[in-house]
């Protein structure tokens, strides 16, 4: 291994006490491949097995925490105790290769496809549809539903603990329910859950508190709690970078193990305000990085690019597309074989790359996401 890549392989111990062997995590990517009963499938286990071992931690595809919050076809569930054996198979698969296993959990809110829901009706902070043609208008959540959902995030965390995971990541990004409560577009409430910026933080903070309380009660070993967020959104009104800097200042006081910033490019500045060209990840890191580790992501393909990002002081990098095309990215860097890292997706490589059929179909057919070659 080149000495310049040593930084990638430095271990790190989180506030919770969990030690990660290096600074690379597998990104939580939806694969649409669960069983019809929403248990983890054998093809998913094989996919994760192939991508575990090199990375320090695997953040799984997101599991939904209640039936009314399912977000995708072929999504696996953490909504009932009957799913604990299924979730345990996934944790065991990841850990058996030498990586930590982090279960991502969420509620899709108004992004739930109605045909996946028990009553075909999505819910959200307010009865405001997403700005997409034909989008369903969600039903505004009642106080009792809000309280039940907060409790269900805790219950999903308990199931992750019982299934043997090393942590959970609360998915508060990518326009799903926690972000919907924080967003002035989707949250038009005038009660304790909305109105001011501080009140729009209340639901995510209540979820974090419930998850932390559950960990304190049930975890017998150190257990990671991370939070994922999107720093901006394009709708008007929408979340601004200034909103997010206030939010992360509060999140940094919640004894979280990390903040995972969801962006497409590590170095890109604001898309709402083109004059603000500084990396949003770095602005967040500058604001709170001394109090909570910030995880960076986005269009970092080569080990040199990853090292450049780590040299900013951001302690972790999540890789997604890179580990789809090259499951052994970390191992090849460590072995000095970085020249052999795949940088394209061959249409003939599905079996070799161990990618389930539903995900493979999307990778091949969605233009521009991966560089697909014959």
* Active site positions, annotated: 176
In this structure, what are the phi and psi dihedrals at residue 45, rounded to the nearest 5 degrees?
-60, -40
Which two three-digit tokens encode residue 173?
A: 């990004």
Q: Which residue has the tokens 């052994």?
A: 328
Q: What is d(CA 66, CA 103) in angstroms, rounded to the nearest whole number?
A: 15
CA torsion through residues 275, 280, 284, 290, sign: negative
Which two three-digit tokens encode residue 215?
A: 């960990």
């Amino acid at each position: 291994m080149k000495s310049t890549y040593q930084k990638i392989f430095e271990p790190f111990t989180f506030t919770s006490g969990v030690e990660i062997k290096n600074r690379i995590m597998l990104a939580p990517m939806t694969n649409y491949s669960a069983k019809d009963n929403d248990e983890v499938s054998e093809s998913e286990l094989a996919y994760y097995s192939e991508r575990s071992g090199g990375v320090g931690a695997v953040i799984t595809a997101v599991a939904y925490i209640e039936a009314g919050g399912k977000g995708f076809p072929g999504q696996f569930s953490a909504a009932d105790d009957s799913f604990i054996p299924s979730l345990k198979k996934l944790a065991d698969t990841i850990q058996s290769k030498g990586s930590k296993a982090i279960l991502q959990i969420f509620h899709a809110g108004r992004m739930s496809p109605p045909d996946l829901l028990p009553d075909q009706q999505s819910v959200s902070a307010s009865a405001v549809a997403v700005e997409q043609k034909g989008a369903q208008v969600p039903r505004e959540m009642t106080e009792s539903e809000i309280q039940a959902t907060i409790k269900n995030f805790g219950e999903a965390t308990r199931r992750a603990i019982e299934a043997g995971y090393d942590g959970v990541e609360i998915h508060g990004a990518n326009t799903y329910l926690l972000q919907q409560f924080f967003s002035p577009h989707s949250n038009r409430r005038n009660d304790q859950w909305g109105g001011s910026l501080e009140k729009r933080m209340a639901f995510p903070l209540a979820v974090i508190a419930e998850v932390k309380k559950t960990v304190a009660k049930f975890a017998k070993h150190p257990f990671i709690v991370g939070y994922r967020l999107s720093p901006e959104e394009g709708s008007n009104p929408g979340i601004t970078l200034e909103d997010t800097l206030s939010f992360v200042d509060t999140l940094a006081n919640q004894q979280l193990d990390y903040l995972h910033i969801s962006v497409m490019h590590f170095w890109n500045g604001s898309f709402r305000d083109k004059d603000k060209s500084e990396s949003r990840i770095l602005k967040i890191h500058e604001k709170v990085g001394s109090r909570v580790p910030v995880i960076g992501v986005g269009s970092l393909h080569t080990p040199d690019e990853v090292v450049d990002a780590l040299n900013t002081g951001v302690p972790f990098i999540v890789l997604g597309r890179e580990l789809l095309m090259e499951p052994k990215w970390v191992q090849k860097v460590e072995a000095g074989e970085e020249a052999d890292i795949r940088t394209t997706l061959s249409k003939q490589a599905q079996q070799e790359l161990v990618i389930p059929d539903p995900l493979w179909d999307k990778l091949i057919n969605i233009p521009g996401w991966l560089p697909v070659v014959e």
